[in-house]
Structures are given as C-alpha cells and as structure tokens.
Amino acid sequence: MGQMDKFKNETGKQLQEDCKTHASGMMRDFSVLTIDASLNPGTGAWTSEFTNHRVLVGPKDKVDACKGKIEEKMDAEGWTFEKNEQYHEQ
C-alpha cells in the first residue's frame, strides 16, 4: 500500500502539475493506479497486484509530452506494477 500512498500524495499530484499545460485540450489524459487485493482464507495471506492505467488521447505533440512526463516520473522511480497503456494520436 506504500506505493498507492506515494502515488496519491506525491507522484500523482506532481504529474498533474507537470502535465497541466500539455493536457489542456486533450480528449483524455489520465494515469491512475488501481490495486487488486485478495485474501486466502485458508492461510490468511493477502496478495495484491498494482496496475497503472495510462490513457492519452489527443494531438501527437500533447500525447508525446504527457507520455514523456509520466514515463519520467513513473518508470524511472522503481515502481512495481503492471501497465495498461492506451495512446491515441489525432
């Protein structure tokens, strides 16, 4: 859960600020984290899987700028999660 807290309190807010100018006028621009947690009742053990959903829809220059900021922040900081990426350039 530490990664979720870090994304909520630090990284997500920084990405919003970094992408604010480029995201203006885009149809879609988001990068969110979800967690799928399961409990094994027999052992009492929890398992969890993080997924980073990235959806960018808009002009190529804006998609590239936001994608670059997301990759710079998320991929370079050692996050451990699956990615669900959708990039659509107009």
Q: Mind listing the pLDDT tens digit for each residue in 2-39?
A: 778 888 898 889 999 999 998 988 998 888 888 889 99
What pLDDT score was predicted for residue 73? 84
What pLDDT score was predicted for residue 29? 86
What pLDDT score was predicted for residue 51? 87
Q: Mind listing the pLDDT tens digit for each residue in 30-54?
A: 888 888 899 999 999 999 888 888 8
Structural domain of 40: 2-89
What CATH number corresponds to the domain at position 67? 3.30.300
Q: Which residues contact residue 7 at a Cβ distance below 8 angstroms, ignoring those fewer than 6 apart?
A: 33
Across 74-85, average pLDDT? 76
**How many domains, in total, are found in the chain?**
1
**Would you list the DSSP string of 11-57?**
IHHHHHHHHHHHHTT-SEEEEEEEEEEEEETTTTEEEEEEEEEEEEE
